Structure 1
């Protein structure tokens, strides 16, 4: 296990909100010993004492219930190196030390090539690892160029292209539920499953992230990486093992099987929108175009929806809907697997047999199964729901992610060809949107999103939204 971690971009929001609390969780769980060393590298003209004070402040603010002695141990393990990441001398100074080092690039992706080159030229110790946050490139050509550079400089096994969604407990339970349960695996196919919704709707608006978000938008920020990764886990064939080679190979197979959208498909099966002024809870939300730091001329979307199909034996005929939006009425973060309805109901039954829906809650984490049962009146159908609470994970997503990096387990990181295939899937959408073939719709902040559009896809998505509303209403108690 590597005991040295260097973070470039060590005073940024990612480090403060996620990486430092993750390190504290690792320490509290006994995964980090007294020999662990943290080096923060950034442009601020600080010394190590000032950085330790900043680390302590951020852990107090974002570290939750982490014990005070644990927070102190992480702060005491830290030192600071003022560094210009474009300067090879500064980069070499930051990683100087004995033994292998894990280098976390908490930086804008545009800086990855110059920093990786500087790391290579500085002579990374054998066994070192480099961590790259998403997005991996800005488009397919950029991802291919970045991968070519990385292949020339760093062994693939030393690269961790991380996506913290893959480290979420419920995300991993998608695999466990379908692969380890005989009741599910035989029906995990298009014969029984009509549609899969992979949804990340949030009430959160821009919240000061214009500098990043306005150059990216919802499609690149969420769909191209996080939601496509969830698609892979839902749709992949059972791997021989959960080792990195078998698991990654099956994920790439899924992405390769995605049927590329034509221009007509993009117009019919995708949507984009941005929010107007509105109110969420007790807060008035300005229009996205009026948010500080936003350039309205970019026409950046805050809502994206894409329908995909897979050309494979298992999934022919199943619709996969990927959707994300900001400043919406309610948080909905889940994978919803909607089964086909039964072919026949006994005579004399009143009411409708709604499709069974298996829901993997992502945030909060949980599991629910929507069923149809008999109500209090004889021969009357009524919706039922079975729910299960997940045990709190030992580590949060970023804690699990960092542990995999330090121990050298790349199974839940993203291989270079996988990153490229994800861009391939969405390239037709990006091209059509850039040409304005799909209108940029609008929706009030605090609403359910853009108004339903009859011609979108096959119209089925509107019905599943209705089912979700049904799932949120009180249900008949079940055993």
Structure 2
């Protein structure tokens, strides 16, 4: 297990909010010993004492779930080096040593190629690993080039393209529910499943992230990585094991099976929009274009929706809808699997059969199965919901990912060919959006998003049935 972690971008928001609390959680679980060392690297003119003070402040703010002793141990393990991540000499000073080091690039994605070049020139100790956040590249061409650069520095197995969604408890439970329950896997196909919605809707607006978000947008920030990863787990064939090769091979199979959208498909099966002024939770929210740091001329979307189909034996005929939006009226973060209706109802006209929907709720983590049962009157149908709330995991998602990095288990990281296939899937969408073939719509902050198109009213009504609030829950819980 690697005992050194060097974080470039060591004073940034990712380090403060996620990496430091993850390290404290690992220490509390006994996964990090006294020999572990953290080096933060950034351009601030700090020394190690100043950095340790900053780490302590951030852990008090974001890592309160871990014991004070674990937080103090992480602070004590920390050191600091001022460094320009694109300068090979600076990088060499950070990673110098005989022992392997895990290098975490907690940086804007635009810096990745220059940072990897600097790592190549600086040289890494044998057995070292490189960690990159999403998005991996800006398109298919840049992803391929970044893969080529990385291959010149470390072996593919030592590259961790991390996506913290894959370490979330409910996401892992998608596999558990499918593969450990005999009643589900036989009906996990297009014969029984009409559509799958993979949704990350949030009330959160820009919240000061213009420097990153305005150059990326919802499609690249959420759909290209997080939501496509969820698609892979939902649609993949059962792997022989959950080891790195078997699991990642099956995920790549899913992406390869995605039917590429034609230009006409992109017009009719994708949407993009950005929010106007509105109110969320009683608070006024400015239009996205008026947020500080936003360039309105970029036409960055805050809402993205893509409808896909898979050309495979299992899934031909099932619709997969991926959607993410900011500044919406309610949080909805889930994978919703909608089953086809039963072929016959012998209950006359008393009540209506509720569509069976299995929802994997991502935040808060849980599962719900919407069903139909008999109500108080004989033969009168009534909706039922069976709900399970999952226990909080021992480790946060970033804790699980960091542990995999330090131990050298890449099963939950994204392989190079998988990253390229994800960009291939969305390449037609990117081209059409960049040429304005799909209009940039608008929606008020605090609303449900852009208004339904006239021709998709029926589809939107069906989609509404996937929401837990859409129908009354009169049955047992």
Number of the residue aligned with 1:50: 50
* Cα-Cα RMSD: 1.2
Higher mean displacement: 387-396 or 110-119:
110-119
CA distance in 1, matches of 2:268, 2:422: 21
Distance 1:389 1:177 in 2: 14
The 10-residue stretch of structure 1 (89-98 or 220-229) with the greater mean CA deviation from structure 2 = 89-98
The reply on whether 1:21 has 2:21 as its aligned counterpart is yes
The 3-state SS of whatever aligns with 1:92 is helix
* Match of residue 427 from structure 2: 427
Correspondence for 1:307: 307
The TM-score normalised by the length of structure 2 is 0.98
Is structure 2 residue 438 aligned with structure 1 residue 475? no
Determine if contact 2:92/2:119 at 8 Å carries over to the other structure: yes
Aligned mates of 1:55, 1:247 — CA distance in 2: 36
Tell me the residue number matched to 1:159: 159
d(CA) in 1 for partners of 2:388 and 2:470? Answer: 14
* 1:349–1:381 CA contact under 8 A, matched in 2: no
| Contact 2:374/2:382 (<8 A) preserved | yes
Report if aligned partners of 1:268, 1:455 keep a CA contact under 8 Å in 2. no
Please say if residues 349 and 379 of structure 1, whose CA atoms lie closer than 8 Å, have aligned partners that are also in contact.
no
In the other structure, the counterpart of 2:235 is 235
| 1:115 aligned residue | 115
**Structure 2 CA distance for aligned equivalents of residues 467 and 120 of structure 1:** 49
Cα distance change on mapping 1:338 and 1:466 into 2, 3 Å? closer
| CA pair 45-347 structure 1, distance change in 2 beyond 3 A | closer
Output one character per residue of 1:317-360: Cα deviation in whole Å (capped at 9) or x when no partner: 00000000000010000000000000000043512112100000
Where does the alignment leave 5 or more consecutive residues of structure 2 unmatched?
Answer: none
Distance 1:223 1:435 in 2: 19
Distance in 1 between residues matched to 2:67 and 2:469, nearest whole Å: 42
Q: Counterpart of 2:192?
A: 192
Measured against aligned partners, the alpha-carbon deviations of 1:236-294 in whole angstroms (never above 9, x if no partner) come to 00011111011111000000000000111111111111100000012100000100001
Matched residues in 2 for 1:45 and 1:300: separation?
Answer: 34
Kept after mapping to 1: 8 A contact 2:336/2:466: no
Listed one character per residue, the Cα deviations across residues 128-187 of structure 1 (whole Å, up to 9, x for unaligned) are: 100011111000111111111212232101100101101111101101100111000000
SS in 1 for 2:200: strand
- Aligned residues of 2:120 and 2:152 also touching (Cα < 8 A): no
TM-score normalised by length of structure 1: 0.98
Q: CA deviation at 1:112?
A: 1.5
Say whether 1:460 aligns with 2:462: no
State whether structure 2 residue 175 is matched by structure 1 residue 175.
yes
Cα distance in 1 for partners of 2:188, 2:223 equals 23
Once the two structures are superposed, the pairs formed by residues 45-194 of structure 1 within 5 Å of their partners are 45-194=45-194
| Preserved contact between residue 373 and residue 381 of structure 1 (Cα < 8 Å) | yes
Partner of residue 378, structure 1: 378
CA shift in 2, pair 1:313/1:461, >3 Å: farther
User: d(CA) in 1 for partners of 2:348 and 2:121?
Assistant: 77
Query: How far apart in 1 are the matches of 2:346 and 2:376?
Result: 18
How far the C-alpha of 1:98 sits from its partner, in A, is: 3.5
1:221-260 correspondence to structure 2 within 5 Å: 221-260=221-260
Give the Cα–Cα distance (whole angstroms) in 2 for the partners of residues 424 and 155 of structure 1. 23
Cα distance in 2 between the residues matched to 1:459 and 1:121: 58
Deviation of residue 476 (structure 1)? 1.6
Which residue number corresponds to residue 326 of structure 1?
Answer: 326
Match of 1:341 in 2: 341
* 1:24-60: CA deviation from partner (whole Å, max 9, x where unpaired): 0000011000110000000000000000000000000
- Distance in 1 (alpha carbons) for counterparts of 2:344 and 2:98: 70
**Distance verdict in 2 for CA 1:309–1:461, change over 3 Å:** farther
CA distance in 2, matches of 1:331, 1:317: 29
Instruction: Name the CA distance, whole Å, in 2 between partners of 1:214 and 1:184.
Output: 41
Q: Secondary structure at the match of 1:433?
A: helix
Q: Contact conserved, 2:465 with 2:471, CA < 8 A, in 1? A: no
Report the equivalent of 2:365: 365
Shift of 1:97: 2.6
Structure 1: state its 5+ residue gaps. Answer: none
Give the drift of 1:470: 4.3
Please give the alpha-carbon distance, in whole angstroms, between the structure 2 residues aligned to 1:437 and 1:339. 33
Name the SS of the counterpart of 1:76 in structure 2. Answer: helix
- Superimposed CA distance per residue, residues 432-476 of structure 1 (whole angstroms, 9 cap, x where no aligned partner): 1111111111111001111111324x9424312244154574332
Contact 1:452 1:462 in 2 (8 A): no
| Contact map agreement 1:100 1:128 (CA 8 A) in 2 | yes
Distance 1:124 1:436 in 2: 44
Kept in 2, the 8 Å contact 1:174–1:233? The answer is yes
Secondary structure at the counterpart of residue 455 of structure 2: coil
**Maintained 8 Å contact 2:452/2:460:** no
